[in-house]
């Protein structure tokens, strides 16, 4: 008798509105054998927590102590046995014990073409403002594995777009979000296939 395929589990970490997290959930809601099982946030006021609860996804808020000073959160996530941990707008540095526990199983999306415009403090609007200030003609997104250094993990995929001469940081952000929504779930799917 054929064994049923094991359900592949994604857990997502997000710090804010969670538009990428929810987009990933909707994408995999239509894919057999892969599901978003939990969404974690370091921000008690993050809109992603309510959005996740409204969709019936287990949403968990955690604090700095459980993330950095104890193994409480790590133990909880290890017990879930996720196939992939996805950082979708998550702003804290991942502790080394997580990276050791989940080698090549933690990925991040960055709103620029790494190695440009990456590193500590470079996220969201700050990235787009820097791209515009520098007069860059290209930008894009980078999906990469997470290692011990901000935005320096092995690159999985990059997608480019042209920066128009009349773009500002807000119009660039809209273009980048469109790229993220289109490509991030597909790259996750490839990694889990």
β-partners of residue 155 are 144
- Sheet containing 155-162: order of strands: 58-61, 34-41, 8-14, 84-87, 106-110, 138-145, 155-162
Classified as helix, coil or strand, 50 is: helix
Q: How far is residue 151 CA from its own chain's centroid?
A: 12
Active site residue 110: yes
Handedness of CA 153, 134, 16, 45 (dihedral sign): positive
Catalytic pick from 110, 160, 169, 183? 110
Alpha-carbon distance of 173 to 62, in angstroms, equals 28
Rama region for 106: left / alpha / beta (φ>0; ψ in -120 to 50; rest): beta
Alpha-carbon distance of 8 to 193, in angstroms, equals 10
Question: Mind giving me the DSSP string for 121-144?
Answer: T--HHHHHHHHHHTT-SEEEEEEE
Which residues participate in catalysis according to the annotation? 110
């Amino acid at each position: 008798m054929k064994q049923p395929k094991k359900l592949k589990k994604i857990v997502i970490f997000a710090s804010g509105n969670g538009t990428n997290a929810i987009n990933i959930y909707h994408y995999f809601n239509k894919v057999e054998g892969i599901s978003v099982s939990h969404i974690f946030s370091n921000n008690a006021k993050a809109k992603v927590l309510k959005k996740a609860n409204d969709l019936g996804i287990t949403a968990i808020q955690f604090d700095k102590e459980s993330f950095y000073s104890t193994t409480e959160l790590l133990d909880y996530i290890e017990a879930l046995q996720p196939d992939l941990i996805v950082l979708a707008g998550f702003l804290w540095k991942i502790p080394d014990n997580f990276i050791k526990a989940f080698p090549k199983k933690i990925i991040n999306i960055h709103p620029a073409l790494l190695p440009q415009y990456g590193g500590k403090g470079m996220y969201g609007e700050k990235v787009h403002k820097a791209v515009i200030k520098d007069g860059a003609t290209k930008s894009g997104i980078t999906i990469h594995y997470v290692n011990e250094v901000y935005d320096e993990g092995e690159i999985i995929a990059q997608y480019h777009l042209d920066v128009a001469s009349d773009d500002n940081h807000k119009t660039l952000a809209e273009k980048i979000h469109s790229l993220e929504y289109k490509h991030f779930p597909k790259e996750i799917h490839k990694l889990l296939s």
